[in-house]
Amino acid sequence: MPKQSLFYYDRALKLLPVDLAIDAQFRQARAFVSHAHADHIARHEYVLCTEETAALLNHRLGPRVVRALRYGEAVDWAGVRLTVYPAGHCLGSAMLLVEYAGERLLYTGDFKLRPSLTVPPAQPVAADILIMECTYGHPLYRFPPEEVVFRDLVNTITRLFEQGVIPVIVAYALGKSQEISRRLSDAGLDLVLHRHVAEISRIYESFGVNVGRYRVFDGTVRSDEVLVVAPGTKLNLFNDRIYRIAVTGWAMEPSARFRLGVDVAFPFSDHADYDGLLELIELVRPRVIYATHGPECFVRDLQVRGWEAYLLDRPTQKTLL
C-alpha cells in the first residue's frame, strides 16, 4: 500500500489534516457519517452528515450534535474542503469529496448507480484517490434488470394470494423496505409495514419522499395484503400460511434462501452490483483505489485491469502478471 498523508486506517478511516473519522463504528470526537445503517454509525460527539441522515440518527441513537451538509455545497473544515454528493443508497446517503493540498479524495460509502424511486441518483465525481465499498465485488453478483425482478415478485405474490398464503417480505427497515413498498404500491398491491419499518417510512415522508400506500401492522393481515418486516422480526401470524420472501443481492447465491431462512429470495439490492462497481471507477478515473467492505478478489480483478488498487482494511498481495 503506498504511503500517503491524507488519511489512515486503523479500525476506522480518518482524515489526517482534520482528525475526522469516517463511518467509524465506535465513538469519535468528530465523524462524518455517510448514511444511517447500523454498520456505519456510532454515538459520536459531533457528526457531519446530511439533514436526512441526521433525522435517522436521532431516531436510532437519540439526539446528536450535528452539522448538516447539503448535496453539492462545499464546506471549509479547518482548511480542508468537504462536499457531499448523493450516493443513491438510502435516504440521506452521501459520497464525500475531500479536497486538500491539490488532491481530491472521494469516499463513496455504500452506493448504487441504478436509479431509485425513493432517493436521488448517485453523483460520483472525478478524484485522484477513490475509497469505495465493494460489497458485491465478485462477478457472481451481476443483478438482473430491476423491472424483471419486480415483475417476477409481483407474479409470485399474486399466486400466493390465490393460494390463500400471506406474503411476508423480509428487507432492511431503512432503505430497502421503502423502495420495495413504493414499487409494489405502484404495482397496485396493498402493503402492511411492521412498526419498525413504518417509523422509518414516516421519516422518508417527512422529507417529501413518496414510499407508496401502506398501513401499519396491527397484528393482522388480510388475505390480499403484503406484509413487510425487517430481518429477525418474530411473527405470531398463522405461521402455516406465511411465505417468507427475502429481497437481497445475496439472492444471486444458489443457497441464499437456506442461509437466510426464507422460502424464496429475489435479487434486488440498494448496493451496486459487480458491473456497477466497475462503472463507478470509470466515472471517477482515480489514480489509486482503496476497496472496503468486500472481497479481495475484487482488488485482484482491478489490478489485472491495470488499476492501482488495494484493500483498505488489510494488505493485498499484487498478482504477478
In order of their start, the domains of the chain are 7-140+271-311 (3.60.15.10), 146-266 (3.40.50)
**Mean pLDDT of the 211-219 span:** 96
Chain-centre distance for alpha carbon 201: 16
**Mean pLDDT of the 195-213 span:** 97
The pLDDT of residue 321: 34
The pLDDT of residue 10: 83
The pLDDT of residue 320: 35
CA distance 267 to 207: 28
**Mean pLDDT of the 230-238 span:** 79
User: Torsions phi, psi of 45, nearest 5?
Assistant: -70, -35
Cα angle 96-141-130, degrees, rounded to a multiple of 5: 25
pLDDT band at 240 (very low <50, low <70, confident <90, very high): low
User: Torsions phi, psi of 68, nearest 5?
Assistant: -80, 135
Asked whether the beta carbons of 206 and 51 are under 8 A apart, the reply is no
Question: At 24, is the secondary structure helix, strand, or coil?
Answer: coil
Sheet holding 47-50, edge to edge: 7-9, 13-15, 20-22, 31-32, 47-50, 66-69
The pLDDT of residue 304: 96
Q: Is the confidence at residue 2, as pLDDT, over 70?
A: no
CA distance 292 to 289: 10
Report the chain's mean pLDDT, rounded to a whole number: 93
pLDDT band at 234 (very low <50, low <70, confident <90, very high): confident
For the purposes of burial, counting CB atoms within 10 Å of the CB of 95, is it exposed (0-12), middle (13-18) or buried (19 or more)? buried
Q: Is the confidence at residue 245, as pLDDT, over 60?
A: yes
| Single pTM value for the model | 0.94
pLDDT band at 193 (very low <50, low <70, confident <90, very high): very high
Task: Give tens-digit pLDDT for 271-313.
Answer: 999 999 999 999 999 999 999 989 999 999 999 999 999 998 7
From first CA to last CA, the distance across the chain in angstroms is: 18
Asked whether the beta carbons of 133 and 110 are under 8 A apart, the reply is yes
CA distance 47 to 23: 10
List CB contacts of 117: < 8 A, sequence separation 6 or more.
179, 182, 183, 186, 210
User: Which segments within the chain are labelled E, that is strand?
Assistant: 7-9, 13-15, 20-22, 31-32, 47-50, 66-69, 75-77, 80-86, 94-100, 103-107, 129-133, 166-170, 190-193, 214-216, 225-229, 242-247, 264-266, 288-292, 309-311
Give, in order, the Cα–Cα distances in Å from 184 to each of 2, 31, 161, 213, 256. 47, 36, 14, 9, 22
- Size (the chain), residues: 321
The pLDDT of residue 233: 85
The pLDDT of residue 40: 93
